[in-house]
Structure 1
Amino acid sequence: MKISRIARISAIGAIAALALAGCAANEPSTPAGSDAPSASTLEGTIKATGASSQTAAQEAWTKAFQEANTGATVVYEPTGSGTGRENFLSGASNFIGSDRAFNDEEIAAGGFKTCTADDIVEVPVYISPVALAFNLEGVETLNLDATTIASIFAGKIAKWNDPAIAALNPDAKLPDAPVAPVHRSDKSGTTGTFTAYLHATAPDVWTWEDDDTWPIQSGESAQQTSGVAQAISAGAGTIGYLDASQIPDGAGQVHVKSGDDFVAYSAEAAAALVESAPLATGRGESDIVFDVDPASAASGSYPIALVSYAIGCVNYEDKNIATLVKSYFEYIISADGQKAAADNAGSAPISDAVREKAQAAIDRIVTK
């Protein structure tokens, strides 16, 4: 079947129960004991850069937040996760979105010029499948396993009628045509998620470590998520990875092998992978990061799931900036904020348990 935007978000209802608690979108309430002011007092502008995967979600979040807080403005520029993290280090962004949290070495090095101290807040706000979409006339779905996917993107499978693809899709009319894999040219957390999947599940073929920068010279490159989507639409025989919220209309869908099943991407299936993942150890109290292992994906879960983060400071020089960031973070993790993202981007709402941990981290932002 062809994948439409409505089909991409249809699974949300099945997991809506994960996000029943939280603040109303038109009334971002302040938790008891919090220093954040009521919505009516919020004024000023905060600027952010980062993950292009969050684009649709950020559009929904900023619109609802600004409608509820008419004196506040949130500007989010989808530059890509790598640029976002660089801007946070340099002090160019008040907060960022990133498909990868800062790693242990980066946190130990510190030097976050956006902050007045090295303590940072990292909270998961956006869970979404990284989909594989393709443009192949007459073919709407394909079953692919990890070894075959890795072989395609490593440049070891050159034709669509390759025996490895044909064996998994005996009923598909596969052409004797070149495979044109598309990857991100910019530093990207989506690339990090995808290469982590390849390395964990097909290490004999994909011998490179997971990395936010595409590690080899192969295939076609495109800037940001929108560029990958455009390249897939424009080129016959193309296949690429991108956040499922931005799959181009009419693109074919890859069902990825997980356990004994071939699983279509969906918010529900991505949530199943992430919900079973432990939190990373050795992190600070304001640093809530998942340790997702694609190789441990259970049958029925989608094994390429992106967990994207909102990242800010515990301490800001400007306390009004701190208040705005804190209030905005509280809204986007709320049940209504998560529903807004689900409706606009097809993402999976965070669970109540994750929300509770995220709220405790956000509460540490100093606003006085």
Structure 2
Amino acid sequence: MKLQRKSGLRALTVGAVAISGALVLTACGSDNNSGSSPSSSTPSGSSSSGIKCDGKGQLLASGSSAQQNAMDAWVQAYQAACTGTTINYKTSSSGEGVIDFNQGTDSFAGSDSPLKPAEATSSKKVCAGGTGIDIPMVGGPIAIGYNLSGVNNLVLDASTIAKIFNSKITKWNDPAIKALNPTATLPSTKIQAFHRQDESGTTDNLTKYLGTAAKADWPYPHAKAFAGKGGQSAAKSSGVAAQVKQTDGAIGYFELSYATASSITTAKIATGASSPAEATSANASAGIASAKVVGTGSDLSLDLSSTYTTKAANAYPIVLVTYEIACDKGNKASTLPLLKSFLTYTASEAGQAKLSTAGYAPLPTEIATKVRSTVTSLS
């Protein structure tokens, strides 16, 4: 499929992004960003905003819709500071982003899961003398959003979430949900569960959580393709959020930024701690801080398994980290300066500071330090 890119940066208020219902129609639809006329700066050197501009021209990228709102904010800030640059990030899915990158279409891809061994091997065809690596950049909670009249403080746990998305719990007044919400008035409304239609790192991360924290109730291996029984599908995180927003009795999963932008109520998660954990940037950061780097060489892929069964106070257990996938060596000489400059900004303190207000979680300091070093080493 030939994917089109368009020009014209959309106006954006950080943390609030217009979500179009048209995104629900197809997994191949695009949601592109590119530059408007920047304000003032120099093509190279530090701008008045503190962003170090290096390189000119256009940088193409695509992939994860989970980081769309963060990427929108970063692109707007970078292009405003760096005259003569266009960062075109086409929102599709993690799977499509990796495909585009390995076909040599894009300078980097966004993915909510690390490269699989076969994908890393394939990347060597476009990374001359090098390989594709995983660079963590965006952290955040996967919110369980719901739309249920009269219920505003819902608590769920791993088992009930697994059963809901596997069609084992089909009514909102099911005894398992009642047990977690003894003071709530739960209606007998049928549960309308929405999941991702396209292959998604968001699905992969959610099912990693379910397969670890509720293994008996989620008998499927984690995967980017949704494997649960029943339910309804929608394209991209924005599509799932749109369906939950407009459907009474609905429940779905998406990044917190989509819940925030659409004013969707999110469930708290009972983990065994003294109180259920709310989906917030700070609570997600508490979980991600326990992640371990398991990649080798320049690769910084993370193991998040310790967050799934955490009982630490205020630690939200359903998290994801979106990686920017780039070549460690063999990047195109024509775009390498701009690639490093842009990723240097996104990994910087200023870039990471934008994440909390957009519903994401900044990288913990230890991981962020490693990311900045890796970006500097790209060649």
- Name the SS for the 2:193 alignment partner: strand
| 1:194 corresponds to which of 184, 206, 213 | 206
**Which of the residues 52, 59, 70 maps onto 1:57?**
70
TM-score (norm 2): 0.83
- Partner Cα distance (2:378, 2:308) in 1: 35
Give the letter for the 1:26 counterpart. S
The residue number in structure 2 matching 1:244 is 256
C-alpha distance in 1 between matches for 2:82 and 2:133 = 23
The amino acid across from 2:152 in the alignment is: E
Query: Partner residue of 1:10?
Result: none
Task: Note the alpha carbon deviations across 1:38-71, whole angstroms, 9 max, x for none.
Answer: x2x5211011101101111111111111122111
Give the C-alpha shift of residue 89 in structure 1: 1.4
1:286-297, aligned counterparts within 5 Å? 286-293=298-305, 294-297=307-310
1:123: how far off? 1.3
Partner residue in 2 for 1:355: 368
Q: What corresponds to 1:123 in structure 2? A: 135
Residue identity matched to 2:111:
S
Contact 1:25 / 1:65 at 8 angstroms: preserved in 2? no
Are 1:167 and 2:179 an aligned pair?
A: yes
Offset of residue 105 of structure 1: 4.5
User: 1:155: Cα distance to partner?
Assistant: 0.4
Check conservation: 2:211, 2:221, Cα contact below 8 A: yes
Deviations 1:136-176 (A, max 9, x none): 11111211111111111110001111111111111111111
Q: Which residue of 1 aligns with 2:278?
A: 264
* Per-residue deviation, residues 223-253 of structure 1 (Å, max 9, x unmatched): 0011001110111111000000001534232
Alignment match of 2:345 (pick from 331, 352, 364): 331
- For 1:201 and 1:317, locate their aligned partners in 2 and report how far apart those are by CA, in whole Å: 39
- 1:342 matched to 2:356? The reply is yes
Contact 2:308 2:318 in 1 (8 A): no
Aligned residue number for residue 32 of structure 1: none
Deviation for aligned residue 1:73: 0.9
| Counterpart among 149, 155, 177 of residue 143 in structure 1 | 155
- With a CA cutoff of 8 Å and minimum separation of 6, indicate the structure with the bigger relative contact order: 1
> What SS is found at the alignment partner of 1:117?
coil
Q: CA deviation at 1:111?
A: 3.8
CA contact (8 A) 1:92 1:114 kept: no
Contact residue 61 and residue 341 of structure 1 kept, 8 A: no
Equivalent in the alignment of 2:33? none
Does structure 1 residue 319 correspond to structure 2 residue 333?
Answer: yes
27, 46, 51: which one pairs with 1:28?
51
1:86 and 1:25 map into 2 onto residues whose CA distance is 37
* Native 8 Å contact 2:147 2:247 kept in 1: yes
Shift of 1:121: 3.4
**Conserved? CA contact 1:121–1:361, under 8 Å:** no
Contact 1:273 1:305 in 2 (8 A): yes
More moved, 156-165 vs 294-303? 294-303
Q: Following the alignment from structure 1 to structure 2, what is the Cα–Cα distance between the partners of residues 151 and 25?
A: 52
Query: How far apart, CA to CA, are the structure 2 residues paired with 1:24 and 1:81?
Result: 32
- Aligned pair 1:278/2:292, yes or no? yes
Change in 2 beyond 3 A, CA 1:229/1:254:
same
Deviation at 1:285, TM superposition (A): 2.3
Counterpart secondary structure, 2:188: coil
Return the alpha-carbon distance in structure 1 between the equivalents of residues 206 and 47 of structure 2.
34
Q: Distance in 1 between matches of 2:169 and 2:136?
A: 36
CA 295–61 in structure 1, closer or farther in 2 if over 3 Å, else same: closer
Aligned counterpart, 2:166 = 154
CA distance in structure 2 between the aligned counterparts of 1:65 and 1:48, rounded to whole angstroms: 15
The sequence identity of aligned pairs, in percent, is 33
Aligned residue identity for 2:258:
Q
Given that residues 285 and 361 in structure 1 are in contact (C-alpha distance below 8 angstroms), is that contact kept between their aligned partners in structure 2?
A: no
Q: Distance in 2 between matches of 1:112 and 1:192?
A: 24
Structure 1 portions without partners, runs of 5+: 7-22, 30-38
Deviation at 1:25, TM superposition (A): 8.1
* Alignment partners' CA distance in 1, 2:48 and 2:257: 21
Closer, same or farther: CA 252–346 of 1 in aligned 2, 3 Å: closer
Structure in which a larger fraction of residues adopt helix = 1
Q: Please state how far the C-alpha of 1:24 moved relative to its aligned partner.
A: 8.2
Contact 1:183 1:214 in 2 (8 A): yes
Which range moves more in the overlay, 129-138 or 240-249? Answer: 240-249
For residue 349 of structure 1, report the CA deviation from its aligned partner.
Answer: 1.4
Q: 1:12: which partner in 2?
A: none
For residue 184 of structure 1, the aligned residue among 176, 185, 196 is: 196
- State the superposition RMSD in angstroms: 1.9
Conserved? CA contact 1:47–1:94, under 8 Å:
yes
**Distance change (3 Å), C-alpha of 1:112 and 1:141:** farther
* 1:317–1:309 distance in 2 versus 1, CA, 3 Å: closer
Q: Alpha-carbon deviation of 1:114?
A: 3.9
